[in-house]
Amino acid sequence: MSQAAETLDGWYSLHLFYAVDWPTLRLVPDEDRIQIVQEFHDFLDKLASVRDDHNGDHALYNITGQKADIFLWVLRPEMQELNSIELALNKLRIADYLVPTYSYVSIIELSNYLAGKSDEDPYENPHVKARLYPELPHSDYICFYPMNKRRNETYNWYMLSMEERKKLMYDHGMIGRKYAGKIKQFITGSVGFDDYEWGVTLFAKDPLQFKKIVYEMRFDETTARYGDFGSFFVGHILPEETLETFFRL
């Protein structure tokens, strides 16, 4: 049996994607629509209140293309809090005009593939804590995709030795380092939580960097031999102060 990678686990994560039912929303009188949007705005303000206390965070983006219109990413210390947030959103009046298109349940994760030997508690390391319990950037663009490590008769990631996996992940990580300052990456583990094993969320000022890093990594052995991917979602930040304009018809 191959040695399993150990993980450090941080905040629980919920990615929510919605399409707006524009034809139905168009029938709502302007005064009612403004109240509906204000209620949604108040809901987002409550989500943001935990950020100052460093008990979670959230991001709101407008997705490009037909897969969704709105993407809300929420991070919290306990999974039950994610349930409460989703329930509260479902009870808002605006939920009558939001059609769920995709969701993803996971947890912020760091593996021990690239970790050095240390006697200190990793959860007390400031660098590790900042990655497990992050303050999300307000970058212009976001990209999300789920992925698996391939396991079939020819290529099975889970049958490789720890040494082989460490070497592959090191080479994989060196590509990512080339994009430091251009892309901010968050890995969330979803084994036992959702249909894929990991979710990857990228933030950038320039969306072209998403194409560049994903394409370059296609030639890396870790991805070329062992990577399977789900759908990609890309979008632009949706500042909360622009919600009334976004929903105006």
Residues with catalytic annotation?
A: 145
Q: Cβ(15)–Cβ(104) under 8 Å?
A: yes
CA terminus-to-terminus distance, the chain: 59
Extract the runs of DSSP E, i.e. beta strands, from the chain.
7-20, 57-63, 70-76, 98-111, 141-149, 183-189, 198-204, 227-229, 233-237
Question: φ and ψ at 149, to 5 degrees?
Answer: -90, 130
Q: From CA 140, how far away is CA 206, in angstroms rounded?
A: 8
3-6-9 Cα angle (round to 5): 160
Residue 53 is classified by DSSP as T
DSSP per residue, 100-137: EEEEEEEEEEEESSSPPP-SS-GGG-HHHHHHHS----
Instruction: Tell me the two tokens of residue 27.
Output: 């029938």
